[in-house]
Amino acid sequence: MMQSSVPLCNICGEQVGVNDNGEVFVGCYHCNFPICKACLEHEINEGSRGCLSCGIPYEERTKGGDENDIKVHENQSQLGNSQDIGLHARHISTVSTVDSELHDESGNPIWKNRVESWKGKDKKSKKKKALKAEVEAPIPPEQHMEERMPTEVAADPPLSIVVPISKTKLAPYRTVIIVRLIILGLFFHYRVTNPVDSAFALWLTSIICEIWFAFSWVLDQFPKWCPVDRHTFLENLSARFEKEGEPSGLAAVDFFVSTVDPLKEPPLITANTVLSILAVDYPVDKVSCYVSDDGAAMLTFESLVETAEFARKWVPFCKKFSIEPRAPEYYFSQKIDYLKDKVQPSFVKERRAMKRDYEEYKVRVNALVSKALKTPEEGWTMQDGTPWPGNNSRDHPGMIQVFLGHSGALDMEGNELPRLVYVSREKRPGYQHHKKAGAENALVRVSAVLTNAPFILNLDCDHYLNNSKAVREAMCFLMDPEVGRDLCYVQFPQRFDGIDRSDRYANRNTVFFDVNMKGLDGIQGPVYVGTGCVFNRQALYGYSPPSMPNLPKSSSCCCCPSKKSTKDVSEIYRDAKRAELDAAIFNLREMDNYDEHERSMLISQLSFEKTFGLSTVFIESTLMENGGVAESADPAMLIKEAIHVISCGYEEKTDWGKEIGWIYGSVTEDILTGFKMQCRGWRSVYCMPLRPAFKGSAPINLSDRLHQVLRWALGSVEIFLSRHCPLWYGWGGGRLKLLQRMAYVNTIVYPFTSLPLIAYCTLPAICLLTGKFIIPTLSNIASVLFLGLFLSIITTSVLELRWSGVSIEDLWRNEQFWVIGGVSAHLFAVFQGFLKMLAGVDTNFTVTAKAADDAEFGELYIIKWTTLLIPPTTLIVINLVGVVAGFSDALNGGYESWGPLFGKVFFAFWVIFHLYPFLKGLMGRQNRTPTIVILWSVLLASVFSLVWVKIDPFVSKVDSSAISGACSAIDC
């Protein structure tokens, strides 16, 4: 073997070298990733047991050269087979005839006969191909392998790699989790076997609460068992799919932007999101932006007209100077040196001109908003004098308008712009429209008819592209032939603007996005969080992943019944029907010789209409493996069909919202949709680029934040009370991993923690007021248990911070708002959810605003009084009163009273410290506490102290008759 043929190590750049047998050193037998022996040993010593390319653990090396060759050949053959499968391969199975009503004279289904005849034709064509291959001189398999060896060694560089967390960080973390679990068991054994007889009710309440908290901790902690990081290679993506002189091979992407009320969701915010999409760093012909106006507002339509015109200037400016971010409002508001890395002499001049154009554009949009504040009595009229079809937002036809694209305007430099489409689905009284989930499903159908991109990226109207290469980051996973085959979506973390540095109300939700989601990425993938997610369109259609085997057939007898058949019959039936549809699509793709009439008849008889609805054009789009629309399609016909698929009755008697698309039944349709996909066997990926992919605006004042948490918690309660509850849904197929199921269970049961939490936060005040305590006098063993539990909690948090990179302040804010939200929004969500799901009563908690004085972060300090503020305010007051009463009692009781007081006061201050951000939010100021609040606090504390010392109501009363009798006996 010549030394020149030895590949270079991808880490150190030196030659890989040879082993003892004189052969090229192979570190990973699965992908032959070039790595030298020294770098391999270094990676293993650092704790990286998995290959940097494919992520598969390194196998034990064998000394024999023949064994090495066998392993390499086997892996090469497996790789070749996997590449032949294709991105959207289907399973072949027998198609059911239940849904067919057309039969021939002998009683056999007509469409089945056609399928059988097409199968025969397909077999004949395959035989002809085989005969042709035999005539040609075949190449021996050995020569095939020798020719493929250099190709495999010089394989395409990876698009992404999995970077496991170092064992030096992860092993101690897992060890502490196990130790904490053991300590919890010993702790509960002590607590249960040592009741407090003098305060039995308080002791029993505390035991129940602590058991629930331990259960919640297990559900939250164990899905973090295998956290991973991922790294993408954008340059490898470009090298593979964007070769010079050839058309771009990158897949097309349809962007979805949803909005409802332009007065609550300002059109300028939505416009910035749209502009950032139109200026994305991606081939123009591969991008389409669909804006869903579910309120049918003429203001939204007119603002998009202005946005399309301004995009002709903004898009070429962004691409010419490679600016970030590409949302103009946020770009021009940056407090940075915008001249950095901009060497073009014309940049300053063009930037000033663009900023002036943007200010003029803002004036025009704001003028539209001012005009829309007062609706004319006769309703809005368009420029041609005809009434606006959406004057009645609850009763209007479907509307579609294509602004930009192939037939639209070009930019100022004469280049093509991405397609921009306005969509407002039809609404009529008496139809259930399913809010955001229904709007998203309407966009799925419209986009399938008009552009049919294989991937979909959905955004909220206030989430703009902060990283112009975000789509390329997702394509590193979705377009990888090995990784992307089983991916249903790529989820990006949510990042926010306009939040103060201290993040008082945990609006950034850093612990969830940087800890929990990275943990789920190591199992079956992160949950879908509603925005910033790139979907595989085929997964939204309800299909199983290509590599997922069919469900095993259950075999049972009368004496030994099968467990599979009795576990979840309905789920097995639904999966079987889905497999039939998969097989039908496969048959349609494989049949070569058939006419259009036969295919249209087959489509109408193969359950497609019962699944997807009465649109042959849409059904045809689901059969296109790589997406796209036929070049011969008539644009006018496509627009007409797009109007048809967004009609209000299109989803009736179909699987939309039940098995395909966004799933209905909860206000948190995102969790439900991702859960259904992963129950079918799909996995997801968490992508965290160095520059955040998307940024949005968060409701930052206290009341709005609590209402946001209330909506999320209410959706979780709705899922818990539905048939899709992870406690019992999807067990039949066995496709959802156990730790993943635990994570989904945690997402639906966490609101119920509010009941034990509010009881536990009340216990300190009761203990201080009554002089009782929930824990008996501690022995030495009990003290060790309490100390060990306390230290294990701290150590778990510290090690979690170590591998996740989250700051201790973020962790503390998350802990604080867990208590604040738990005793307010989560509590109301539980009661509201049961009223809504069981009694059909829908309650709303309205807020009233009060102006703020502070200019910077002024919205943060607005006070909006709402019912949600009552429970935490009550807890703060009674715990403060309890502390005052406890100290007063200790002053009266002497030296011996101070020892028992310490534990009770510590317990009360734990509650007060956790509720401190809430207390600060009630004050409504940024830098100082209002004087009136201080005066009232001192006055109330003094009054309660004096009353407590004078009355002391919890001291046992002495019988007055006994006192009078004693007095008469001594002749008082």
Average pLDDT over residues 491-506: 85
Residue from 190, 232, 379, 128 nearest 778 by CA? 190
Are the C-beta atoms of residues 608 and 581 closer than 8 Å to each other? Answer: yes
792: in domain: yes
User: What is the separation of C-alpha 234 from the centre of its chain, rounded to a whole number of angstroms?
Assistant: 23
- Residue 934 pLDDT more than 80? no
pLDDT of amino acid 604: 54
Is there a single domain that holds both residue 676 and residue 744? no
pLDDT of amino acid 307: 92
Tokens (6 digits) for 49: 């047991």
Is there a single domain that holds both residue 816 and residue 940? yes
Average pLDDT over residues 26-53: 72
Residue from 166, 167, 162, 172 nearest 232 by CA? 162
Q: What is the dihedral of CA 512, 515, 517, 522, to 10 degrees?
A: -160
pLDDT of amino acid 113: 47
**Which residue among 582, 670, 810, 889 is the active-site one?**
670
Q: What percent of the chain has pLDDT over 90?
A: 26
How far apart are alpha carbons 89 and 101 in whole angstroms? Answer: 29
pLDDT of amino acid 458: 93
CA distances from 257 to 95, 152, 339, 532, 568 (A): 38, 42, 32, 10, 37
Is there a single domain that holds both residue 673 and residue 775? no
Q: How many domains does the chain have?
A: 3
At 526-568, the pLDDT tens digits run: 999 989 999 999 899 888 888 765 444 333 333 333 344 334 4
User: What is the separation of C-alpha 221 from the centre of its chain, rounded to a whole number of angstroms?
Assistant: 18
Reduced to 3 states, what is the DSSP secondary structure of residue 118?
helix
Is there a single domain that holds both residue 666 and residue 778? no
How far apart are alpha carbons 607 and 834 in whole angstroms? Answer: 36
How far apart are alpha carbons 743 and 529 in whole angstroms? Answer: 14
Which CATH number covers residue 430?
3.90.550.10
Tokens (6 digits) for 83: 């590449």
Tokens (6 digits) for 792: 């294990």
pLDDT of amino acid 924: 57
Q: Average the pLDDT over each of 409-418, 448-457, 689-698, 921-930 and give the range with the smallest value.
A: 921-930
Q: Give catalytic status of residue 670 as yes or no.
A: yes
Is there a single domain that holds both residue 898 and residue 829? yes
Is there a single domain that holds both residue 803 and residue 862? yes
99: in domain: no
Q: Return the higher-pLDDT residue of 137 and 472.
A: 472
Task: Out of 670, 698, 726, pick the residue that ends a domain.
Answer: 698
Per-position DSSP letters for 134-182, written without gaps between them: HHS-PPPHHHHHHHHHHHHHTPPPPSEEEEEPPHHHHHHHHHHHHHHHH
How far apart are alpha carbons 664 and 656 in whole angstroms? Answer: 9
- Residue 962 pLDDT more than 50? no
939: in domain: yes
Q: Which residues are annotated as a binding site for Mn(2+)?
A: 436, 460
Q: Give catalytic status of residue 971 as yes or no.
A: no
Reduced to 3 states, what is the DSSP secondary structure of residue 336?
coil
Is there a single domain that holds both residue 899 and residue 778? yes
**Which residue among 293, 294, 582, 889 is the active-site one?**
294
Neighbours of 864 (CB within 10 A): 17
Are the C-beta atoms of residues 54 and 33 closer than 8 Å to each other? Answer: yes
* 342 pLDDT tier (thresholds 50, 70, 90): low
Task: Report the mean per-residue pLDDT for the chain.
Answer: 76
480: in domain: yes
164: in domain: no
Helix ranges (H only) for 750-779 are 754-770
Per-position DSSP letters for 409-422, written without gaps between them: ---TTS----EEEE
Tokens (6 digits) for 196: 């407090």
Q: Average the pLDDT over each of 476-485, 610-619, 957-966 and give the range with the smallest value.
A: 957-966
Average pLDDT over residues 734-757: 91
566: in domain: no
Q: Which residues are annotated as a binding site for UDP-alpha-D-glucose?
A: 258, 264-265, 294, 435
How far apart are alpha carbons 354 and 321 in whole angstroms? Answer: 12
pLDDT of amino acid 147: 40
615: in domain: no
409: in domain: yes
pLDDT of amino acid 362: 92
Is there a single domain that holds both residue 782 and residue 903? yes
Whether the bond into 325 is cis, omega within 30 of 0: yes
Q: Average the pLDDT over each of 12-16, 680-684, 843-847 and give the range with the smallest value.
A: 843-847
- Residue 436 pLDDT more than 80? yes
Task: Out of 668, 698, 728, pick the residue that ends a domain.
Answer: 698
Is there a single domain that holds both residue 451 and residue 369? yes
* 464 pLDDT tier (thresholds 50, 70, 90): very high
Which CATH number covers residue 14?
3.30.40.10
pLDDT of amino acid 279: 92
At 82-127, the pLDDT tens digits run: 333 333 333 322 223 233 333 444 444 443 444 444 444 444 444 4
Average pLDDT over residues 335-340: 72
- Residue 273 pLDDT more than 90? yes
How far apart are alpha carbons 425 and 447 in whole angstroms? Answer: 13
How far apart are alpha carbons 405 and 410 in whole angstroms? Answer: 8
Average pLDDT over residues 941-959: 53
Q: Which residues are annotated as a binding site?
A: 258, 264-265, 294, 435-436, 460
CA distances from 22 to 9, 274, 795, 850 (A): 17, 59, 50, 80
How far apart are alpha carbons 192 and 185 in whole angstroms? Answer: 11
Task: Out of 42, 57, 72, pick the residue that ends a domain.
Answer: 57
CA distances from 375 to 380, 383, 387, 428 (A): 7, 16, 13, 21
Q: Which helix (H) or strand (E) holds 227?
A: none
**Hey, CA dihedral for 520, 522, 528, 533, is it positive or negative?**
positive
Is there a single domain that holds both residue 746 and residue 685? no
What residues make up the domain containing 27? 1-57
- Residue 216 pLDDT more than 50? yes
Beta bridge partners of 917: none
Is there a single domain that holds both residue 671 and residue 749? no
pLDDT of amino acid 943: 61
Is there a single domain that holds both residue 338 and residue 463? yes
- Residue 972 pLDDT more than 60? no
Average pLDDT over residues 386-409: 82
Beta bridge partners of 161: 231
Tokens (6 digits) for 817: 């708002």
pLDDT of amino acid 243: 84
pLDDT of amino acid 875: 86
How far apart are alpha carbons 750 and 732 in whole angstroms? Answer: 25
